Amino acid sequence: MTDPILKVKDLHKSYGDLHVLKGVSFEVKRGETVVIMGPSGSGKSTLLRCIIRLVEPDSGDIWIDGVRVTDPKTDLIEIRKHVGFVFQQFNLFPHMRVIDNITLALTKVHKLPEDEAVKRALEVLKKVGLEDKAYAYPGELSGGQQQRVAIARALAIEPKLILFDEPTSALDPELIGEVLKTMEQIAEEGKTMVVVTHEIDFAKEVADRVLFIDYGRILEEADAKTFFSNPKHPRLRAFLRRLLERV
């Protein structure tokens, strides 16, 4: 049995008197797609940010590919070289062309030669169906296209793990499908993904496992089929009812 690519153990995080994460523990295997669901304010985004210490946890431990991320001596730049992060709001540089948004980290952080970085950027843009937008600016793209560029940027670093923080929440409903289809293709290629989302159909079809977090605790964890067909915790049953009412 191979070691998990990601291991989170007894993670705690507070903002003042607000205890956001209350002893969260879970693991992710290589090649797995794990979806995290839960109501707003339950700690999902904080959890993702703690994984690569964009937010500093108060206590607990995190390992990525066997390296203890929470060790103060750990080189965070080296860790982040191998983890893609896709944000809700795309986080593209508006003054830079699409291709430059992607090559920036490749040349500055990964130290790739410019021609190699451009070649890789064009390859990942083709993968997300946006090769023809390489020399456009983000403001010339739809929200769905901008998010697919953000996904391409995450893929370009050839990550061991990709974290998605509600990647469709800022999109108009008609643009959500194109982003989810791109993510489904990535999962089919065997990339390891942790996805915070409310998209039930995506979770049912793509997730290997689904975690339910509420008030900073993981209350239920199961394979996707069991999670949706036979939820055990009453909070999860209520949450799923509300989600399905909105569909």
Grade residue 143 by pLDDT with cuts at 50, 70 and 90: very high
Q: Please answer whether residues 175 and 182 qualify as being in contact, where contact means their C-beta atoms are separated by less than 8 angstroms.
A: no
Q: For residue range 25-64, what is the model confidence (pLDDT) as tens digits?
A: 999 999 999 999 999 889 999 999 999 999 999 999 999 9
- Looking only at the bridges linking them, the beta strands covering 59-64 and 33-37 are unpaired
> Using the 8-state DSSP alphabet, how is residue 66 labeled?
T
What is the number of other CB atoms lying within 10 angstroms of the CB of residue 67?
Answer: 13
Q: What is the pLDDT of residues 5-26, one digit of tens each?
A: 999 999 999 999 999 999 999 9
The whole-number pLDDT of residue 128 equals: 94
Condensed to tens digits (0 to 9), the pLDDT of residues 57-66 reads: 999 999 999 9
Residue 120 tokens, joined: 């890789």
| CA torsion, ordered 140, 142, 145, 151, to nearest 10 deg | 100
Q: Is the pLDDT of residue 244 over 90?
A: no
pLDDT at residue 1 is higher than 70: no
CA dist 228 and 242 (Å) reads: 13
Percent of the chain at pLDDT > 90 equals 89
Q: Which residues pair with 11 in a beta bridge?
A: 24
Task: Judge whether residue 151 has pLDDT over 60.
Answer: yes
- pLDDT confidence of residue 5: 96
Instruction: Tell me what pLDDT residue 152 has.
Output: 96
Please give the structure tokens belonging to residue 53. Answer: 């210490």
175 pLDDT tier (thresholds 50, 70, 90): confident
pLDDT band at 3 (very low <50, low <70, confident <90, very high): confident
| Domains of the chain by start residue, with CATH | 1-74+202-247 (3.40.50.300)
In tens, the pLDDT along 67-101 reads 999 999 999 999 999 999 999 888 899 999 999 99
- Res 124: pLDDT: 96
pLDDT of residue 50: 96
**CA nearest to 103, candidates 91, 119, 81, 85:** 119
In the chain, where do the E strands start and end?
A: 6-15, 18-28, 33-37, 59-64, 67-68, 83-86, 161-165, 193-196, 209-214, 217-223
User: Is residue 191 predicted with pLDDT exceeding 90?
Assistant: yes
Q: What rounded mean pLDDT belongs to the chain?
A: 93
Q: What is the pLDDT of residue 247?
A: 58
pTM of the model: 0.94
**Neighbour tally for 175: CB within 10 Å:** 18
